[in-house]
Amino acid sequence: MTIGWHFDNSYSRLPKTFKENIDPVAVNSPEILILNKDLANKLDLDFSNINDDDLSKIFSGNKLPEESNSIAQAYAGHQFGHFTMLGDGRAVLIGEHLNKNSERFDIQFKGSGKTPFSRGGDGRAVLGPMLREYIISEAMHFLKIPTTRSLAVVKTGEDVIREQISKGAILTRVALGHLRVGTFQYIAAKQNISDLEILINYTIEKYYPNIKSSKNKALDLLKVLIEKQTQLVIDWMRVGFIHGVMNTDNMSISGETIDYGPCAFMDVYDPKTVFSSIDQLGRYAYDNQPKIAKWNLTRFAECLIPLISKNEDEAVTLARDALDKFEKNYETKWLNMMRDKLGLYGEDKEDKDLIIKLLNWMHKNKADYTNTFVFLMNRTIKNSKIYNNEDFNLWKIKWVKRLTMFNNSQDKSMELMNSSNPMVIPRNHKIEEALTLASNGDLTLFNKLIKILKNPYLVNDNDLEFMSPAPHGDKKYQTFCGT
């Protein structure tokens, strides 16, 4: 088969501490459900001459590509604040594929059966959550937010038992890498400085070769990740995305959004919004995401202490100095992001107050987060009566006056807003509707959603229904992790 796989499995060459060799567990009757042709093209893979039966075998792991070398990665994690030794309990990395530009991508099967890290679980995944990861990770990509992506979903033909009996599935996840903060926590917990040094050098070689010649690689790696994660969370806040499970094993060293479990997008603006059924205390609420990012980065810094300096006190001081810059850097980036959303050029001392007053009005009046900015761009939305409000109109007068500062033009402001504010996001009720239909074999709505989400900054009047939040109801929307 001339598909074009080109594997170079660098992680597999690391010492045994870092992983376990394990093949996917074969399934009875795999059936290809979705193949991401756009992503396949980016990877320089050609599946056009492969029939559905062979595609099903490939993406279920029943027929592994030549030169692949499947492993389960070892890592740990603070899950809701509690430290646990973990690892890939239901996923295997089959290898690292190089495209024609020598860009490196991890190819991982998620839901591929038991591994040495399964901790009593079955290692399988349910169809609904795998379809959910596919559609939301693709939406994030087209929203211009760093993310893992999904190449394929295969039904396994087997049942998976959770709260109920569900259809099984395997998702093929594509990432720049699957190193996590939790990977460093795992190696640090083993208290083997040699392995920690191997991991730092491997990480820098793979992701951040520009700091290879650094005099203090560990410290500079910390600073790079602080910057990466700050920008990532800013991107989440821009579009109202709530990750839902920001455990340290879900913070990627590559700076990508990873693990689309109980994630969702905020409709009505409320900074305390939580969707995850297991986040009872709101640890990972919308407005807590920057705080948790710093908390996770602090755990990362703790792992690096032995290699930041041989003098522990000095190492702690250097790490703390880097982390102490987080809040100021985050606020600067957040203000600039919100200025972009409002089409504001330049910096005025009243900008923060203008932004906060809009957010407070949205919260008080239960305004939709995404559609408020769409309305300000003079685009058509349904249910715009909420903006016929005295307080909003008074705020808008101040905003319009601010737009004219720094010799700015309205056209320039609208252009900036159009590039910063999506018109359409994966609305929770539409996702649920699409997943229900898809789980019963009807992919019509699922495919239509994918098509619309590929152009989130441009929606025609025929698709206005995809811009509207769910009708108000008494039932609180909840998401689940699928494990």
SS3 category, 422 = coil
Strands 31-35 and 149-161: antiparallel
What the block records as the tokens of 171 is 């998702």
What one-character DSSP code corresponds to residue 180? B
- Residue 240's contacts (CB-CB under 8 Å, 6 or more residues apart) are 265, 266, 267, 269, 286, 369, 370, 425
What distances in angstroms separate CA 181 from CA 156, 249, 263, 324, one per listed residue? Answer: 31, 6, 19, 19
Evaluated on CA atoms 123, 129, 135, 136, the torsion sign reads: negative
CB 386 within 8 A of CB 364: no
Is the Cβ–Cβ distance between 168 and 129 less than 8 Å? Answer: no
Phi, psi of 82 (to 5 degrees): -110, 130
Rounded CA-CA distance 295/303 in Å is 13
DSSP state letters, 37-59:
HHHHHHTT---TT--HHHHHHHH
Helix axes 351-365, 390-403, angle to 10 degrees: 150
Q: Which amino acid is at 472?
A: H
Please list the active-site residues: 249
